[in-house]
Amino acid sequence: MAVEEKPEELVTPGEVLGRAAELRAGKGAYVAAHNGLVYASLTGRARTVPPSPDSPDQRPMVEVIGLKAHGAVPEPGSIVIARVTKVMARLASVDIMCVGPKSVREKFTGTIRQQDVRATEIDKVDMHSSFRPGDTVRALVLSLGDARAYYLSTAKNDLGVVSAESAAGATMIPISWTEMQCPLTGQIEQRKVAKIGS
């Protein structure tokens, strides 16, 4: 695969930009460990930057320059606010709504795996008593996982469910690390609750 200076082309998240053996991933791109391919992580124009002559790594770098229109993009280490869409035995699927204080304009999905729900007693985590569809969670982005979904963690005290609706339709109140209560019915439901305040 010859890498000439080619005109910038429009790419979207998850699009293959090349092979890691021949290209380095710059801003807006990442290498998938399982197949060694370089993917775009945002919508924008892909461009290839030749290596500097004194660089020990002589692979050109591919980067994606984001389009002005798009909002915030989740990156490893960023805190996101997401809504739970589906809960399964070993993971929960979420739609990411905000990165830090900024809302996203594209659709980003995330996965909270069983081992990333909390820091202790990982083998005892029950996904169905940690999250329910419709819950709003605060989570940390670990990495860009497979199938365009980010891997998220709620393993710190200040991460987890920040808002949940009870069966009666009321916003529940956290009463412990693991429980929230419906103010209307008094019913208690299990959750992985985020610590509020400092």
Span 95-132, pLDDT tens digits = 999 998 888 888 899 999 999 999 988 889 999 999 99
Q: What contacts 181, CB < 8 A, 6 or more positions away?
A: 172, 173, 175, 187, 188, 189
**68 band by pLDDT with thresholds 50, 70 and 90:** low
Q: At residue 7, does pLDDT exceed 70?
A: no
Whether 124 and 57 share a structural domain = no
Closest residue by Cα to residue 117 from 198, 193, 190, 197:
193
Percent of the chain predicted with pLDDT > 90: 58
Cα-based distances in Å from 193 to 41, 50, 129, 138, 156 = 30, 48, 11, 10, 10
Is the pTM higher than 0.85? The answer reads: no
Whether 44 and 84 share a structural domain = no
Beta-bridge mates of residue 37: 19, 32
Structural domain range at position 168 = 79-190
Whether 89 and 161 share a structural domain = yes
Q: At residue 161, does pLDDT exceed 90?
A: yes
DSSP calls for 20-41: TTT-EE-TTEEEETTTTEEEE-
Whether 25 and 102 share a structural domain = no
Assign residue 91 the CATH number of its domain. 2.40.50.140
What's the mean pLDDT when you consider all of the chain?
Answer: 88
Whether 106 and 151 share a structural domain = yes
Whether 107 and 169 share a structural domain = yes
Contact 46, 8 (CB under 8 A): yes
Among residues 36, 66, 96, which one ends one of the domains?
66
Query: Could you tell me if residue 18 is inside a domain?
Result: yes
Whether 137 and 176 share a structural domain = yes
Query: Could you tell me if residue 158 is inside a domain?
Result: yes
Domain count of the fold of the chain: 2
Residue 171 DSSP label: B
Residue 187's pLDDT is what? Answer: 95
Q: At residue 146, does pLDDT exceed 80?
A: no
**165 band by pLDDT with thresholds 50, 70 and 90:** very high
